[in-house]
């Protein structure tokens, strides 16, 4: 068998992930059939599935990649950056519209989801702990409660954006700041 | 044609709406096929579609009914009641999992959605205006921003509940109270 360079493999993987993300965003998980994935990536099913063992594995890899991207923005630019990015990149959000139903019906998948990007998750927790220690975040609630509140606001806005409703990012950020400010 | 009593029609309509809600929650909008709707309601397609002209009309009627129920709880018990109800009645939430994608692809449906329950919506707006006038809600943001923030939190928690993740209703309510309190 010919040896394929790492660079070539990396390029192919990116081609698959970009095309597949568009297909999942447009058609949903079920609707993104293998022929549609072939069309969106410009590659044969053989090529696609030589990089990912199954459609579910491809979807999960893209979801983990999307979360990695979001966590990096959160760490670099704060939650403001996350919300502004969500409002201007609805494709990343649309890809996730089927996720709640998929997770609800599949406990194993739900467990997999919670283990995405452990190093970045830990870094985010540390940044919350440090902000709380510096008195920038209220100290009467634990980090998990504060973090989940951010998560709920993000997912709620994501639903509104994906559905095509206008959202008020600045108003939301102002309310969030008051919610988490030290009393 | 025999005359059917109003009471009988009302009972039948309730039988359809309860069964169909279970079917949509379990299978999703696409997955709730006509045979599954027949099985879930215990009625023939002829009977079902004599009450609702199409599957979409049936779904929209249930969604409007769900929103009416939510608005009544909000008006009677406050937003606390809404979140506690959401956490304990995941079936109402699961029915809505396909809604963002459906609305995104259908501008007419999105417009229909925004016109649900106008009298109750107006009553809710009035209650926000009154709370603001009494100094219970901050006055530096408009009612729409405050209302949408509640909506985002509800939809975000709804996604988490429907996906099977635990949610912290009391912690969320505490943060929400700080967010909207007068400064």
CB-based contact (8 Å) between B137 and chain A?
Answer: no
Cβ neighbour number for residue A104 with a 10 Å cutoff: 20
Q: Which residues of A touch B168 (CB under 8 A)?
A: 144-145, 148
Residue A122's pLDDT is 97
Q: Is the dihedral of CA A147, A153, A157, A160 positive or negative?
A: positive
Q: Which residues of B touch A162 (CB under 8 A)?
A: 100-101, 104
CB–CB contact B100 A100 (8 Å): no
Distance (Å) from the alpha carbon of A106 to chain B's nearest alpha carbon: 9
For domain A56-180, the CATH class is mainly alpha
- B60-180, CATH topology level: Tetracycline Repressor; domain 2 (1.10.357)
Nearest CA in chain A to B24: A101
Confidence of residue B2 (pLDDT cuts 50, 70, 90): low
Confidence of residue B20 (pLDDT cuts 50, 70, 90): very high
Domain ranges of chain A: 1-52, 56-180
Q: What is the pLDDT of residues B113-170, one digit of tens each?
A: 999 999 999 999 999 999 999 999 999 999 999 999 999 999 999 999 989 898 999 9
The number of CA neighbours under 13 Å toward the Cβ of B151 is 20
For domain B1-52, the CATH class is mainly alpha
Q: Which residues of B touch A151 (CB under 8 A)?
A: 156, 160
CB–CB contact A141 B171 (8 Å): yes
Per-run averaged pLDDT (10 residues), chain A, 183 residues: 80 95 93 97 96 96 95 97 91 88 92 95 97 96 96 94 91 97 92
Residue A92's pLDDT is 83
Biggest CA-to-CA distance, chain A? 66
CB-based contact (8 Å) between B143 and chain A?
Answer: no
Rounded CA separation B110/B103 (Å)? 5
Cβ neighbour number for residue A168 with a 10 Å cutoff: 19
Q: What is the pLDDT of residues B25-57, one digit of tens each?
A: 999 999 999 999 999 999 999 999 999 999 999
ipTM, two decimals, is 0.91
Residue A2's pLDDT is 61
**Is 70 exceeded by the pLDDT of residue B1?**
no
Nearest CA in chain B to A25: B101
Q: What is the pLDDT of residues B65-104, one digit of tens each?
A: 999 999 999 999 999 999 999 998 888 888 988 999 999 9
CB pairs A-B closer than 8 Å? 132
Closest CA to B120 of B181, B67, B159: B67
CB–CB contact B148 A164 (8 Å): no
Residue A93's pLDDT is 87
């Amino acid at each position: 068998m010919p040896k394929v360079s790492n660079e070539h493999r990396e390029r192919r993987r990116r081609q698959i992930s970009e095309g597949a993300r568009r297909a999942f965003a447009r058609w949903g998980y079920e609707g993104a059939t293998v022929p549609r994935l072939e069309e969106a990536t410009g590659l044969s099913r053989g090529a696609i599935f030589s990089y990912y063992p199954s459609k579910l594995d491809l979807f999960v890899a893209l979801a983990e990649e999307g979360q990695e991207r979001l966590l990096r923005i959160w760490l670099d630019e704060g939650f403001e950056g996350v919300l502004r990015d969500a409002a201007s990149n609805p494709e990343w959000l649309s890809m996730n519209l089927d996720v709640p139903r998929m997770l609800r019906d599949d406990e194993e998948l739900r467990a997999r989801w919670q283990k995405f990007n452990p190093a970045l998750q830990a870094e985010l927790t540390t940044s919350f702990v440090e902000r709380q220690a510096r008195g920038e975040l209220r100290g009467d609630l634990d980090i998990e409660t504060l973090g989940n509140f951010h998560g709920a606001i993000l997912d709620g806005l994501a639903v509104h954006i994906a559905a095509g409703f206008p959202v008020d990012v600045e108003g939301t950020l102002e309310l969030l700041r008051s919610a988490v400010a030290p009393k």
